């Protein structure tokens, strides 16, 4: 079974991802993949350099993220150009890693994709697991974690799909408002309902 794990910013998705890893399930992490596809020597990085110039490459050959960020920040056309290069590369690598785990004999693979709904990658997974949190908890956690003002935190939350939309599109929802143990119990219950043994079995 391929599980698509997602949530919203500061919902605790990473916590649940770690719990699944601890249970022995292989994780394909979209954030890690996004960094891997632009490592020095990759085709993606060469394409980015061809479009945006050598100024987006640091002396050590790595991507100058802040420079690239500045260039696309107020330029929708440039952002679109960048996404047209990066998004297909990320999708391809996600599937490559997923298939590699399946080839190794893993029966269940977790795709940890923060923007699963926003990127319309639902068809990559058989089951969608959403980690949710109350709006109040989400706001407080984000302000605390990232040192943001309430306005800044609300802007970040507002840039993603509402939690309710993700919950409605999920096969199961974990409500991460209580203790870690409560979250873990909910996770184990979902896995049990889906007929999954721990990844170590």
Residue 117: both structure tokens together: 């709904």
Give the pLDDT of residue 197.
Answer: 73
Q: Determine contact, residues 129/7, Cβ cutoff 8 Å.
A: no
Alpha helix positions (H), the chain:
13-22, 30-36, 43-52, 65-73, 76-103, 135-146, 150-158, 163-168, 180-193
Give the pLDDT of residue 198.
Answer: 64
Mean pLDDT of the chain: 94
The dihedrals phi and psi of 27, each to the nearest 5 degrees, come to -115, 130
CA dist 126 and 87 (Å) reads 21
Domains belonging to the chain, first-starting first, are 1-26+108-201 (3.40.50.300), 37-105 (no CATH)
Q: What percent of the chain has pLDDT over 70?
A: 98
Give the pLDDT of residue 144.
Answer: 94
CA dist 89 and 80 (Å) reads 14
Give the pLDDT of residue 52.
Answer: 95
CA dist 3 and 96 (Å) reads 15
CA 153 to chain centre: 19
Give 124-165 pLDDT, tens digit per residue: 999 999 999 999 999 999 999 999 999 999 988 988 899 999
pLDDT band for position 173 (cuts 50, 70, 90): very high
Count of Cβ atoms closer than 10 Å to residue 195 Cβ: 7
pLDDT band for position 63 (cuts 50, 70, 90): very high
pLDDT band for position 199 (cuts 50, 70, 90): low
Residue 187: both structure tokens together: 């996770």
Give 26-55 pLDDT, tens digit per residue: 999 999 999 999 999 999 999 999 999 999
- Position of tokens 């785990």? 101
pLDDT band for position 110 (cuts 50, 70, 90): very high
Is pLDDT at 200 greater than 80 in this prediction? no
CA dist 18 and 15 (Å) reads 5
Give the pLDDT of residue 165.
Answer: 94
- Please, what is the Cα angle at 38 between 79 and 11, to 5 degrees? 70
Count of Cβ atoms closer than 10 Å to residue 51 Cβ: 14
């Amino acid at each position: 079974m391929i599980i698509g794990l997602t949530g919203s910013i500061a919902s605790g998705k990473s916590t649940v991802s770690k719990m699944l890893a601890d249970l022995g399930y292989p994780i394909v992490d979209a954030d890690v993949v996004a960094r891997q596809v632009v490592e020095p020597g990759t085709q993606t990085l060469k394409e980015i350099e061809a479009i945006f110039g050598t100024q987006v490459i640091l002396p050590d050959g790595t991507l100058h993220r802040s420079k690239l960020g500045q260039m696309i920040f107020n330029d929708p056309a440039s952002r679109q150009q960048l996404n047209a290069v990066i998004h297909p590369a990320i999708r391809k690598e996600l599937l490559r890693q997923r298939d590699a785990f399946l080839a190794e004999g893993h029966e269940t693979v977790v795709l940890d994709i923060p923007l699963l709904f926003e990127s319309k990658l639902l068809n990559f997974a058989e089951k969608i697991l959403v980690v949710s949190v109350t709006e109040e908890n989400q706001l407080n956690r984000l302000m605390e974690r990232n040192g943001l003002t309430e306005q800044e935190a609300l802007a970040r939350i507002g840039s993603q799909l509402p939690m309710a939309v993700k919950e409605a599109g999920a096969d199961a929802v974990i409500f991460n408002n209580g203790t870690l143990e409560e979250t873990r119990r909910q996770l184990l219950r979902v896995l049990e309902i889906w007929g999954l043994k721990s990844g170590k079995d």
